[in-house]
């Protein structure tokens, strides 16, 4: 019996000693098992996070082909006066190549955004002349954006340089827009500004921006007057954003010519698969006024494929802005665009698109080319697709 008691006492003592050993180190009885585990599992190491680089690179290139049902010959060039960028009918084209560099810290962000190709040149139409003279061309034609932002606080930032406009629903960047071809409101609005702007995020639901610029779409000013831009941002509920935009500038040289845009841009994410967008604009200058509206409906069909439509009306019948007929008279137009958006891979989009445009011109005038090169058409249909690689 005594032997039994001693045995029990010895066992209890051994357990007590084991329990008081340092739990971070293996006890003697664990050594063999620990060695066995170490043969197949690496000992835990301290996790060291690599510092995120403040420098990032991005860009894209897009290529497209659109057939014109009016039978326009390839060598005639333009598919119609309404297309702001995709002007070549029945042609394989490279639209734009972009290289964008961004450097961002907690206090400053710097952006150099360069574009090359037909769409890049058209987008920077206001920067074609070098200070050395027109015969030298201009490297400024390649600058889509070049600006720096000083983050003065969590709510206030100051930006200076050349940057994209606040007016409008669409942008020049093909990967960002749902539709490939661009609207008439985009083509008849400002593209970019050179100046300074102050952004204030007052709350999560309200923000505003004020800016002073050289003028309309140019790195240089053409007179003493400066342009003014403003934006009010509202986010009434989750998924709904509203932007009230203004840009105005005196573009006159010998006589005053105040040119202004008043713009409403809004979008609402109805469900995870359905988005509704609306853009409405009115503008005026010394020549006349213009205005329009576009409705955007985009729906996600599957994980990789979405379908969207744009229905647009634009009225420049008073000839105040760029959209005119062959005689220089103002026109109005209605357009319907149906676009598919297929994600081939995380870096490649395929966008098939059908577009119909109809024009209302003065009696006896026409807008579009026919198969013989004559201006005999007032409507057109195009069908094609674009491939967009981005990173």
pLDDT in tens, 253-296: 888 999 999 999 999 999 999 999 999 999 999 999 999 999 99
Q: With H, G, I as helix, E, B as strand and everything else as coil, classify residue 265.
A: strand
Please give the average per-residue pLDDT across 306-319, as a whole number: 97
- Res. 363: pLDDT tops 80: no
- Out of 27-36, 59-68, 205-214, which region has the weakest mean confidence (pLDDT)? 27-36
- Res. 10: pLDDT tops 90: no
- DSSP code for 49: P
Please give the average per-residue pLDDT across 242-248, as a whole number: 99
- Out of 19-33, 196-210, 230-244, which region has the weakest mean confidence (pLDDT)? 19-33
Please give the average per-residue pLDDT across 330-351, as a whole number: 97
Residue 333 vs residues 79, 105, 177, 237, 389: alpha-carbon distances, Å? 15, 46, 21, 34, 32
Q: How far is the C-alpha of 156 from the C-alpha of 340, rounded, in Å? A: 39
- pLDDT winner (highest mean) among 67-81, 297-311, 319-333: 297-311
Please give the average per-residue pLDDT across 143-167, as a whole number: 98
* CATH superfamily to which 55-390 belongs: Porin (2.40.160.10)
- Res. 81: pLDDT tops 70: no
Do residues 71 and 381 make contact, with C-beta atoms less than 8 angstroms apart?
A: no
Q: What is the pTM of this model?
A: 0.84
Q: What pLDDT was estimated at residue 35?
A: 38
- Res. 191: pLDDT tops 70: yes
Q: What pLDDT was estimated at residue 376?
A: 85
pLDDT band at 48 (very low <50, low <70, confident <90, very high): low
Per-domain residue ranges of the chain: 2-38, 55-390
Q: What pLDDT was estimated at residue 76?
A: 55
Of 330, 332, 350, nearest to 340 by C-alpha is 350
- Res. 193: pLDDT tops 80: yes
pLDDT band at 47 (very low <50, low <70, confident <90, very high): low
- Res. 82: pLDDT tops 80: no
- Res. 335: pLDDT tops 90: yes
Q: How far is the C-alpha of 180 from the C-alpha of 350, rounded, in Å? A: 10
Of 267, 62, 99, 92, nearest to 175 by C-alpha is 62
Of 197, 221, 92, nearest to 147 by C-alpha is 197
- pLDDT winner (highest mean) among 46-55, 270-279, 354-363: 270-279
Q: What pLDDT was estimated at residue 384?
A: 95
- Residue by residue, DSSP assigns 5-31 as HHHHHHHHHHHHHHHHS-TTS--GGGH
- Out of 118-127, 179-188, 265-274, 307-316, which region has the weakest mean confidence (pLDDT)? 118-127
For the stretch 85-120, pLDDT in tens is 887 778 899 999 999 999 999 999 999 999 999 899
């Amino acid at each position: 019996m005594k032997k039994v008691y001693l045995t029990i006492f010895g066992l209890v003592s051994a357990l007590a000693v084991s329990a008081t050993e340092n739990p971070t180190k293996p006890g003697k009885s664990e050594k063999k098992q620990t060695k066995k585990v170490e043969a197949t599992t690496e000992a835990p190491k301290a996790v060291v996070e690599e510092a995120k680089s403040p420098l990032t690179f991005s860009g894209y290139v897009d290529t497209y082909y659109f057939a014109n049902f009016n039978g326009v010959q390839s060598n005639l060039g333009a598919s119609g006066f309404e297309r702001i960028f995709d002007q070549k009918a029945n042609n394989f084209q490279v639209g734009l190549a972009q290289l964008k560099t961004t450097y961002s810290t907690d206090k400053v962000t710097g952006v150099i955004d360069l574009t090359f190709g037909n769409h890049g040149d058209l987008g920077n139409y206001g920067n074609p002349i070098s200070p050395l003279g027109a015969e030298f061309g201009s490297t400024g034609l390649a600058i889509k954006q070049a600006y720096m932002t000083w983050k003065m606080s969590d709510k206030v930032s100051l930006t200076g340089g050349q940057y994209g406009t606040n007016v409008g629903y669409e942008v020049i960047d093909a990967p960002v827009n749902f539709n490939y071809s661009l609207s008439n409101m985009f083509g008849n609005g400002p593209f970019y500004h050179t100046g300074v702007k102050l952004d204030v995020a007052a709350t999560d639901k309200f923000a505003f921006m004020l800016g002073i610029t050289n003028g309309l779409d140019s790195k240089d000013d053409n007179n003493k007057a400066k342009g003014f831009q403003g934006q009010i941002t509202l986010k009434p509920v989750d998924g709904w954003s509203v932007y009230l935009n203004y840009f105005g500038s005196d573009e006159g040289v010998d006589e005053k010519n105040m040119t202004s845009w008043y713009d409403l841009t809004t979008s609402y994410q109805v469900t995870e698969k359905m988005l509704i967008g609306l853009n409405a604009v009115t503008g005026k200058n010394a020549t006349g006024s213009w205005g329009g509206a576009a409705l955007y409906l985009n729906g996600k069909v599957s994980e990789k494929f979405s379908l969207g439509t744009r229905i647009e009306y634009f009225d420049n019948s008073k000839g105040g802005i760029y959209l005119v007929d062959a005689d220089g008279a103002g026109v109005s137009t209605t357009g319907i665009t149906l676009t598919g958006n297929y994600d081939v891979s995380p870096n490649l989009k395929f966008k098939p698109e059908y577009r119909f445009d109809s024009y209302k011109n003065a009696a006896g005038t026409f807008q579009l080319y026919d198969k013989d090169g004559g201006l005999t058409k007032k409507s057109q249909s195009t069908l094609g697709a674009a491939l967009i690689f981005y990173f």
